[in-house]
Structure formats: C-alpha cells, structure tokens
Amino acid sequence: MDKRIQVIQQLVIGFVICVIFAVMLVGLFGSRTGQKTLTMDVDGDGCEEVVTKKLGTVTVRKDGDIIWKSDRKWKCDDFLVADIDRDGYNELMVLLWKQGSFGEHLPFWMEQDIEISQHIFIFSWDERQDRLVPIWMSSRLSPEIRDWNIEKECFIHILSTDGEDMLWMWKNWGLVRIDNTLVIK
C-alpha cells in the first residue's frame, strides 16, 4: 500500500480517537463545566441579585456591580441559593474544589496539605459587614458529590459519586444527613 495512504489512514484513526475522547470528556464533565445563572435575593433586601457560575467562578451581582466573587484558588462546580436555616433569608452554597483542607491551621501531625478535594462552603449575608460571610465550610467531602439540588425549599438532595442518594438539612450549626431519620411530606 502506498505509504501516503497509510499515513492518511493513521491520521484519520488518530482524529477519530481524539473525537471519541473529547465526547467522553464532555459527557463526564459537561454538566459541571457549563454556565449557570439564578436570580435570587442574596442580601435580604427583597430585591433579586444575579448569581452566576462561569469557568469555575461564582459571582453575585447587584444592579450590575459585583458584590461577591469566589476565591480565585477555588474551582466551583455548582452553587445553590436557598433559606436552608429557615430564618427568612437565603444562603449561598458553593460546591467547589480546592487544594488543602486545613487552610492556615495545619494539624501538627501533617507536614503538608496539598491534596485537591471537594468541599461545600455556605455563605450568608451579614448586615453589619454588608457582605456575604462564610457560616459553614465543610472539610474534605468523602464520598464526593456528583449532583445536588434543593428540595422542599430547604432540604439538600445529594447524589454521591458512589451512587448514594441522600437528603441533608441544616441543623444547629451545620449540614446533617436526615434521610435515615425523617420522612418529608
């Protein structure tokens, strides 16, 4: 066979393999890499802000001005806005990846904290500071979250990467799993 034809065949096969991989990657990560926009009242003034996720960054805009933006070091998968503690004001929940789980407060037995891990960070509007402040920051999630959504206004329905279907809610000072103990009507 002509060598040029062989080269062309190899190039075509290589291209097809690349396309197949690209389609698989989009299938695996497409839902997480897409954009998302919600209009919700985040600062409790009765008017809606625009919350967006784009290229791994979550941004809150009020009248066109950015009033909150996720940390540059985070890769945000998704966000939810709901009144999870049922005080009449919405919280912003961000599902994100970051390096390290302990920040500046590294446990004495650890020499380094460089692992990339998934976390849920929850923010609430602080009137005195006039800004969103973190009220709960999870440690490394295990198993990780594949998908989540708000159910019945304040419950968080979570599907883990290992296929577990869970229901969580805010209790006292953090998220607590409740699907084993409570039936929602």
Binding footprint of Ca ion on the chain (CB under 5 A)? 41, 43, 45, 47, 83, 85, 87, 89
Which tokens sit at 49?
Answer: 């802000």
Residue 6 Cα distances to 2, 12, 19, angstroms? 7, 10, 20
Q: Which is nearer to Ca ion, 97 or 136 (CB)?
A: 136
- In Å, how far from its chain's centre is CA 115? 17
Min dist CB 91 to Ca ion, Å, is 5
Nearer to Ca ion, 154 or 159 (CB): 154
Q: How many other CB atoms are there within 10 angstroms of residue 50's CB atom?
A: 16
Residue 32, Cβ density class (10 Å: 0-12 exposed, 13-18 middle, ≥19 buried): middle
CB of 50 to Ca ion, least distance (A): 10
Instruction: Compare residues 43 and 78 and give the one whose CB is closer to Ca ion.
Output: 43
CB of 24 to Ca ion, least distance (A): 40
Closest contact distance (angstroms) between CB of 79 and Ca ion is 15
Of the two residues 74 and 89, which places its CB atom closer to Ca ion in the complex?
Answer: 89
Whole-angstrom Cα distance, residue 45 to residue 28?
A: 39
Q: Which two tokens stand for residue 16?
A: 């097809």
Q: Which CB atom, from 93 or from 95, has the smaller least distance to Ca ion? A: 93
Smallest gap from Cβ 126 to Ca ion, in A, equals: 12
Contact 157, 147 (CB under 8 A): no
DSSP state of 22: H
